Structures are given as structure tokens and as C-alpha cells.
A and B are shown apart, each in its own frame.
Chain A
Amino acid sequence: MRAILCSAALVAALSPAFAEESKYQKMVSEDSPAELFQVGGEELWKKAQGPKHASLEKCDLGKGPGVLKGAYAALPRYFKDTDRVMDLETRLLYCMETLQGRSREEATKRVFGNANSPSEMEYLSAYIASKSRGVKMNPGHSHPKEKAAFELGRALFFHRAGAWDFSCASCHGEPNKRIRMSQLPVLDDPKAAAPLIATWPAYRVSNSQFKTMQWRINDCYRQMRMPEPTFASDATVAMNMFLATMAKGETYRGPGTKR
């Protein structure tokens, strides 16, 4: 313990900005507003909706119909019924279409909410992810399509394009870098990436909103000056697969709180 305190003090002395940020992160990780979203998500999970007037309670997130324990920690993964790799939101969308009979258009109308009006996906993600707390992250890695998704995600991570020539690695490729005061995690380094990935999805204090991984990827591409990734597309699932794999073996501790 003393060694930890000493090294923490050393880090603080060397990098005041980093220490400030860490203190802030610790502060906001307690009594997370994410809990409110978990409660809302449970209600939505059990609520009958759509033309079929059905709830999502029979949705199979990979552990069997309705099994939530550890489901998020094992995503993305390959699903035989759709013959594709899916992440949490992609699978939820599939369940909304098949179990509830809702159209893709209607179900994706508001996939990202705002502070006044969160989206259904955000509530559901908070609830489902909370059921993986304490479970080691273990996304699919054996099916050829799972391997292909990981490889595509990694290639996307380093792919430079757009008006400003950015790739994900432009900001998340080197250690100890900041954008303004924000520390940038190196996301292709499991040591740096795992602690962060294992706390998404998360409540973001700066937006007063609960944010999903699909949103996180979407908002990075916005800032990269790229066109918009289509919600639940293979490219977004591949990116999620790459990131989740960086956190493989890390105990899931989300849904967290971010600055």
C-alpha cells in the first residue's frame, strides 16, 4: 500500500495535470449517476413494446434467452442465428426487430439521446452492462468471423483518411499525450486500454449523459472529420471487437463515470 502511495505521489509530482485528472476520475466514479440509468434500463427490458407487444426478456445476448449475467463481458461475439458478429447494441436492435416486431427504422430513430431525453439504447446498455460487474471480459475470439472482426477493427484503428488525415491512432497511439487537458489512452496497448474499456458504457459528466460504446466510436469519427459510421454496422462492431479484445481478462467494473 505504501509503495502504491509513494508511486502515486511521484506521478503527481511529475505530472500535475495527470494527477488532477486521476483525482477527478476517482471522485466521479463514486455514487455514479449510471445507477439511475440501470433502473430505467431494467424497466425497458421488461416493458412490452412494438407490434408484437413483447418485452426483451427472451433476448439472447449470447448466454441463452434472457440470461444477463456476464453477457456484456462476453461481447462482441458471433451469433449463429444471424451469422454475424454483434456487439451489445447491435444485438439489442436485432431483438427489438425479431421479438418486438419493430422496424429497424423506428428502433434506430434515436440511438443517441441528449441530456433531457436519453435514448432507449443508453438505458438498456447501462442495465445489461451492470450485470457483468465483476466478470472478466472475454469477447469472442474463436470463430473465424470473430477473428476477422478483430483484424478489421485493428486495421480501422490505424487507417488514415478524412479531411484531416486522422486515424484513431493519431490521438490514441502514443503514451502520455493529451488533447487540451484530456489524457489520451493508448488503445492498442492492453495495459493502457483495459482499465478504460472495462468501465464503458459510462455516464459522462461533461455531457450529463449516459454514453454507449457505439456513441463513443461515432463521436471519435465526428472529430476525425469523417462521415458517420452507420449504427450497428460491421465496421462499428469490428471496432468494438478490437477494443474489447484489448481489455480481455480485465474484470468488468462498469458502467462507469467519465469526465
Chain B
Amino acid sequence: MKKTLLTMALPAAALLSAAAWSDPSAEDVTRVLQRDFHAKGQATMDRVVQDGLQRVCTETRNNPPAGLAKTLEADQMKTIVYPQGSLMGDWKRAEKVAQSGRGSMWNDKPGAPAGGGCYNCHQLSPQEHSFGTVGPSLLGFGRKRGSGPEMQRYVYGKIYNAKAFNACSQMPRLGYAGTLNEQEIKDLTALLLDPASPVNQ
């Protein structure tokens, strides 16, 4: 799959404006990163190698042609592993995961529980005033949209791999990247959708 995505990146590169011709290409930059960066803790050097999606988003400045975006999103959709049974976990447990911005950094203990870093970018529970605005406010998310099976599937999938719904989203692919596990994503799904969750009060 990786190979297909890489080949697809080529027409995207050709779409770049003439003004940017002297810019180093994504491959040039990757070579620089391989030369000038080094592994530290769990941040190993394989991380500087872009996958097809990262490359297309870099080359198109996060604005791929519609057709290519659809193909990328369909590819990302295939990575989502939906668990059997209910997708709604325990919103009470989720608050801690939503609060924590730790995990996957070179100074984080490998294997230690990671956070989703949700509040870094989103408003969620009204009690938390220190929230970021890089992503949209999620206050009242379930109250406004309902919490049926379709919505549960969307929210679980969006947290698992945000790029399946918006190819060049700035949101990390928290399940796909291995940052959050199935239970944590189910709990976060409940934080957004459960009518009893503070998000929906």
C-alpha cells in the first residue's frame, strides 16, 4: 500500500506552482533529516521517513486535488480497526486521556500510558477553561449531533485515524499511530457522545 501511495505523490508534486521551483523537494528534506537528526528514546529514525499521505500533504501544502484527497481518505479508512460490540466506553475514564498531552515523545517512557492531547487543541468539558483552538470546539458534541450507532462509528473512526475523513487534517492518527488503544478510544467516544458526559451538559 505504501508503494502505491508514494507513486501517487508524483503528480501532486507536478502541481506545485512555478514560484516554488527552487524549494527543496520532500525527498531532499527527508535526506536532510536523515543526516541531521538522530534517534532518541522511543523517537526512532524511521519517523523521519514520510508515508504517502504525509508526502502529498507536504507537497500540496495540505490542499491535495479533490480526487487524490478522496483516494487517500479511502486508503486511510481501511486502516481503522473497529472493535466488536459497543463503541461507547466510559467517559469518566476518558477525561484523563483527554487531558494528557504525553506520549510518543523522546522523553516519554516507552509503554507508559499516553494521552490524546485533546485539550491542547479542542474545547471539551465546560469545566476545563485551559483548552486550545487549533481544532474546533467539541463542547456539546453529542447533544448537537446525537449519539446513535452511525455517530459512534464516525467518532471512533475520527479519533482512530482523522485522515480517513480529511486527508491533510492536522489531527494525529491516534489509533493508527499506536498512541491510544481500543479502550481509550472507546472511552473518548463516550466522552463526546454519552448524554451523561460533561461535554453534553
Chain A interface (Cβ < 8 Å from any Cβ of B) = 151-152, 154-156, 158-167, 170-171, 174, 176-181, 184, 221-223, 225-230, 233-236, 238
Given known A-B contacts A160-B57, A222-B105, A223-B105, A177 and B38 have beta carbons under 8 A apart: no
Chain B interface (Cβ < 8 Å from any Cβ of A) = 22-24, 26, 28-30, 32-33, 35-40, 43-45, 47-50, 53-54, 57-58, 61, 104-107, 119-121, 130-134, 163, 170, 172-173, 177-179
Q: Which 6 A-B pairs have the closest CB atoms?
A: A233-B36, A235-B36, A164-B172, A228-B40, A155-B24, A160-B54
* Contact of A178 (CB < 8 Å), options: B23, B43, B132: B132
Q: Is the CB of B37 within 8 A of A170?
A: no
CA distance A227 to B40 in the complex (A): 6
CA distance A202 to B120 in the complex (A): 24
Q: Is the CB of B26 within 8 A of A165?
A: no
Q: Is the CB of B47 within 8 A of A225?
A: yes
Q: Is the CB of B32 within 8 A of A156?
A: yes
Q: Label chain A's interface by main secondary structure.
A: mixed
* Contact of B37 (CB < 8 Å), options: A151, A167, A227, A238: A227
Q: Is the CB of B54 within 8 A of A235?
A: no
- 15 A-B pairs whose Cβ atoms sit less than 8 Å apart in the complex: A155-B29, A159-B29, A159-B33, A159-B50, A161-B58, A163-B179, A178-B133, A179-B132, A225-B43, A226-B33, A229-B37, A230-B36, A230-B37, A234-B36, A235-B37
Point out the residues of chain B lying under 8 angstroms from A181, CB to CB.
130
Point out the residues of chain A lying under 8 angstroms from B134, CB to CB.
170-171, 174, 177-179, 184
